[in-house]
């Protein structure tokens, strides 16, 4: 039978993502973000995100169908009736935001009479790699870093065997960037701002702490992350300077902070590759846009004999195409669809 035509809905955070795939082929990937609406709060506001999803869903679905129609060379949009299945992120994420996507997906699947697949957001990030068109090999270690999560996973098989090795105990990596940017007086979202400011700074100027990296952390938290101590250290350092009436060297603080985050992310990811004998590392999530992270990951992985994969940014940030891609793999592997009983689950395990 032909590769399944799947529409995927992603609403776990602030991006309303609708993607359509045909098996491993990407047909459309439309994203509406409510980022701008959160800017004045300095972070994603759950209620604002949920409402924005409600407003963005219908136009995003229409845009995705149009884009898919043109990718396939049709005269108009891809008709909904052509879909073989609907897929949706059921968790983890913001409960209210997830609920909007889950409700829409159920309504769509029921009205079309198609199977419905509820999928895990983190596994979706891993599935994004399939859409690059390059041969994907498992096992791989995956490091997912965004404003909402910081997770290290071992993927032995995408559809049957994904293991969470570790995750953040407090702030997500992107969240840490956003909070430090705020301390330094830089606008939201802070990641790109810190990246820019750090370009002229000395990453060795200040030695900030690497969370959960001491020998005593290696038993219980070898693959976990913590950024709240780092955040406090930066805040204290800046306050101290100001109390002494000295100017804050923004570029050096940004570069030193970024170095601490990057160091701990790459060290733990490559440690997992070594410990499990896996010579592959997949990167995903919006923080992958960070130049220094890519640079350090590529350099240290090359030394360690680990092959790094970084999908294009449009597939790394939250999107619906990765959700559709995961469902298409599940269908091809013979997985039964979800029943309608499932709901949004903000803490859904992998």
Query: What are the helix (H) ranges across 199-304?
Result: 228-243, 250-276, 291-304
**How many whole angstroms separate alpha carbon 293 and alpha carbon 300?**
11
Which spans of this chain sit near ligand KG4 (rule: CB under 6 A)?
Answer: 13-14, 146-148, 174-175, 177-178, 189-192, 195, 285-287, 289-290, 317-318
Cβ neighbors of 113 (< 8 A, separation 6 or more) are none
Nearer to ligand KG4 among residue 59 and residue 187 (C-beta):
187
**How many whole angstroms separate alpha carbon 71 and alpha carbon 74?**
8
Q: Is 144 annotated as a binding residue?
A: yes
* Partner touching 192 among Zn ion, ligand KG4, none, CB below 5 to 8 Å by kind: ligand KG4
- Please choose, out of 140-148, 243-251, 270-278, 287-295, the segment that lies near Zn ion by the rule CB under 5 A: 140-148
Q: Is 125 annotated as a binding residue?
A: yes
Q: Find the residue with minimal CB distance to ligand KG4.
A: 191
**Cis bond upstream, residue 84 (ω within 30):** no
Q: Which of 90, 146, 151, 193 binds Zn ion (CB under 5 A)?
A: 146
**Closest separation between CB of residue 273 and ligand KG4, Å?**
22
* Partner touching 317 among ligand KG4, Zn ion, none, CB below 5 to 8 Å by kind: ligand KG4
Q: Are 140 and 278 in contact (CB under 8 A)?
A: yes
Q: Give the phi and the psi of residue 51 in degrees, each rounded to 5.
A: -65, -40
Q: Is 315 annotated as a binding residue?
A: no
Query: What are the helix (H) ranges across the chain?
Result: 35-38, 46-71, 95-112, 121-127, 173-183, 190-198, 228-243, 250-276, 291-304, 313-316, 320-332
Alpha-carbon distances, residue 349 vs 12, 71, 153, 163, 234 (angstroms)? 14, 35, 12, 10, 32
**How many whole angstroms separate alpha carbon 114 and alpha carbon 7?**
11
Q: Which of the residues 282 through 321 are near Zn ion (CB under 5 A)? A: 318
**Closest separation between CB of residue 182 and ligand KG4, Å?**
11
Q: What separation, in Å, do the N-terminal and C-terminal C-alpha atoms of the chain show? A: 29
**Closest separation between CB of residue 189 and ligand KG4, Å?**
4
Per-residue x/- track, 317-346, Zn ion (CB under 5 A): -x----------------------------
Q: Is 16 in the site for Zn ion (CB under 5 A)?
A: no
**Closest separation between CB of residue 146 and Zn ion, Å?**
5
**Closest separation between CB of residue 149 and Zn ion, Å?**
6
Question: What is the chain's alpha carbon radius of gyration, rounded to the nearest angstrom?
Answer: 21
* Partner touching 46 among ligand KG4, Zn ion, none, CB below 5 to 8 Å by kind: none
Nearer to Zn ion among residue 195 and residue 318 (C-beta):
318
H helices, E strands: number in the chain: 11, 10
Q: Is 121 annotated as a binding residue?
A: yes
Q: Is 200 annotated as a binding residue?
A: no
Per DSSP, the three-state class of 11 is coil
**Closest separation between CB of residue 49 and Zn ion, Å?**
13
Alpha-carbon distances, residue 179 vs 147, 212, 228, 257, 268 (angstroms)? 11, 19, 10, 11, 22
Q: Give the phi and the psi of residue 217 in degrees, each rounded to 5.
A: -85, -15
**How many whole angstroms separate alpha carbon 338 and alpha carbon 333?**
14
**Closest separation between CB of residue 191 and ligand KG4, Å?**
2
Q: Is 178 annotated as a binding residue?
A: yes
Nearer to ligand KG4 among residue 157 and residue 200 (C-beta):
200
Q: Is 290 annotated as a binding residue?
A: yes
**Closest separation between CB of residue 236 and Zn ion, Å?**
30
| Binding-site annotation: residue ranges for Fe cation | 121, 125, 318
| Binding-site annotation: residue ranges | 121, 125, 144-148, 178, 191, 195, 290, 318
| Binding-site annotation: residue ranges for substrate | 144-148, 178, 191, 195, 290
Interaction site with Zn ion (CB under 5 A): 146, 318
């Amino acid at each position: 039978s032909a590769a399944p035509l799947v529409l995927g809905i992603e609403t776990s955070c602030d991006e309303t993502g609708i993607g359509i795939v045909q098996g491993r082929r990407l047909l459309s990937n439309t994203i509406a973000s409510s980022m701008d609406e959160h800017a004045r709060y300095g972070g994603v506001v759950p209620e604002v995100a949920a409402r924005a999803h409600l407003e963005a869903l219908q136009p995003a679905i229409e845009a995705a169908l149009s884009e898919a129609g043109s990718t396939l060379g049709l005269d108009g949009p891809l008709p909904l009736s052509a879909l073989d299945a609907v897929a949706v992120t059921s968790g983890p994420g913001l409960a209210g935001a997830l609920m909007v996507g889950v409700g829409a997906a159920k309504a769509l699947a029921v009205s079309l009479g198609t199977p419905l697949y509820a999928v895990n957001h983190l596994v979706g990030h891993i599935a994004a790699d399939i859409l690059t068109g390059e041969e994907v090999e498992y096992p791989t270690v995956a490091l997912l870093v965004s404003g909402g999560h910081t997770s290290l996973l071992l993927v032995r098989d995408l559809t049957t065997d994904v293991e969470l090795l570790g995750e953040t105990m407090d702030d997500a990596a992107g969240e840490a960037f956003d909070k430090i940017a705020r301390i330094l007086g830089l606008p939201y979202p802070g990641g790109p701002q810190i990246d820019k400011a750090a370009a002229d700074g000395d990453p060795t100027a200040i030695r900030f702490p690497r969370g959960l990296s001491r020998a005593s952390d290696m038993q219980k938290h070898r693959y976990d992350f913590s950024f709240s101590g780092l955040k406090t250290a930066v805040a204290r350092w800046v306050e101290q300077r100001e109390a002494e009436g000295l100017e804050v060297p923004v570029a050096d603080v940004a570069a030193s902070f970024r170095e601490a985050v990057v160091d701990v992310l790459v060290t733990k990811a490559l440690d997992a590759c070594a410990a499990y004998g896996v010579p592959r590392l997949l990167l995903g999530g919006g923080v992958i846009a960070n130049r220094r992270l890519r640079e350090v990951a590529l350099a240290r992985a090359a030394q360690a004999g680990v092959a790094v994969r970084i999908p294009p940014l449009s597939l790394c940030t939250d999107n619906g195409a990765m959700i559709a891609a995961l469902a298409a793999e599940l269908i091809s592997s013979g997985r039964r669809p979800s029943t309608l009983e499932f709901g949004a689950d903000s803490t859904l395990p992998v």
